[in-house]
């Protein structure tokens, strides 16, 4: 089939690569406009745009999918179907109606659970044991279209959102390719999503990524892993922000007050609402990521200091 692939971040690359290596023809790529990044905040193309340009594929970067110039070019390209992975924009009905086989999205959850922008992050934060990926036909309502295929993936006790997304991006790429193959062959039929079990996972804000040390240790651990690498869990000390990497729950250590620090020879413990946790890497404002023990050696902490 003639395909227009829509995607933006790195997590979409395994699927794009799968289609480039397939018998389908990728006639163009739709991605978000260049965005500022890095120290100089210069404009950079998305990872999907960079990969497509390197392959000599036309890249479309409309400010919005409702842009009339984009819609005219979409009609000229006449794709049969449009696979989507984390594109980042809402597609209007006039765009959804163009390809005869529709737009097929790869979503990183077991729909109807965790519809929305941050399904993996919410699965970790709420303590799910299993997650997965689903392919479905895009309809106007958010992540509500009929489902073509599903795969499952265990959530390991130390998984960060980034690590889990990396695994799902690879296994989900095969699921999406198999789905498009099935649609092309006329052997695959989508089934409506059940209403029971529907939950939502909106994009996490920076404020929602702040650690509340009065919470139980398991909740602190899940919150930090769900925010790693983005938007990044954080706390403050002396009013300055301290970014946090994953921690280790220490159930056998004596209890500390929430936020209280215990600096030891090679590790740093912090009190929570239950047992302490051991800090991993930390990143003070304006400095590099470093082991917590290195940070405390250079910071000269007072016994009364607390993480807040």
Residue whose structure tokens are 């699927």: 15
Q: Is 194 annotated as a binding residue?
A: no
Q: Is 10 exposed, middle or buried (0-12, 13-18, 19+ CB in 10 A)?
A: middle
Q: How many Å apart are CA 193 and CA 50, to the nearest integer? A: 35
Q: Is 46 annotated as a binding residue?
A: no
Binding-site residue ranges: 109-112
Binding-site residue ranges for (6S)-5,6,7,8-tetrahydrofolate: 109-112
């Amino acid at each position: 089939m003639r395909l227009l692939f829509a995607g933006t971040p790195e997590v979409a690359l395994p699927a794009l690569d799968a289609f480039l290596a397939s018998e389908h023809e990728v006639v163009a790529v739709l991605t978000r406009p260049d965005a500022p990044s890095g120290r100089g905040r210069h404009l950079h193309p998305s990872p999907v745009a960079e990969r497509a340009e390197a392959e000599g594929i036309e890249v479309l970067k409309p400010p919005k999918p409702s842009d009339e110039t984009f819609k005219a070019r979409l009609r000229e390209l006449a794709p049969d179907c449009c696979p989507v992975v984390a594109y980042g924009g809402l597609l209007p009905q006039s765009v959804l109606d163009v390809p005869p086989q529709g737009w097929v999205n790869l979503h990183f959850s077991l729909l109807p659970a965790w519809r929305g922008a941050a399904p993996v992050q919410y699965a970790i934060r709420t303590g799910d044991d299993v997650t997965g990926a689903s392919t479905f036909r895009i309809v106007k309502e958010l992540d509500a279209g009929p489902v073509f295929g599903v795969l499952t993936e265990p959530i390991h006790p130390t998984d960060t959102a980034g690590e889990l997304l990396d695994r799902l991006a690879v296994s989900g790429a095969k699921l999406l390719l198999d789905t498009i193959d099935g649609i092309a062959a006329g052997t695959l039929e989508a089934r409506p999503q059940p209403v029971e079990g529907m939950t939502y996972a909106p994009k996490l804000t920076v404020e929602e990524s702040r650690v509340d040390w009065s919470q139980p240790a398991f909740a602190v651990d899940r919150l930090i892993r769900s925010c790693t690498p983005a938007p990044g869990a954080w706390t403050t000390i002396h009013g300055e922000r301290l970014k946090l990497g994953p921690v280790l729950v220490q159930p056998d250590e004596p209890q500390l007050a929430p936020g209280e620090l215990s600096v030891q020879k090679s590790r740093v413990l912090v009190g929570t609402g239950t047992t302490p946790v051991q800090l991993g890497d930390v990143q003070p404002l304006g400095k590099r990521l470093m082991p917590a023990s290195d940070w405390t050696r250079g910071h000269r902490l007072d016994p009364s200091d607390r993480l807040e």
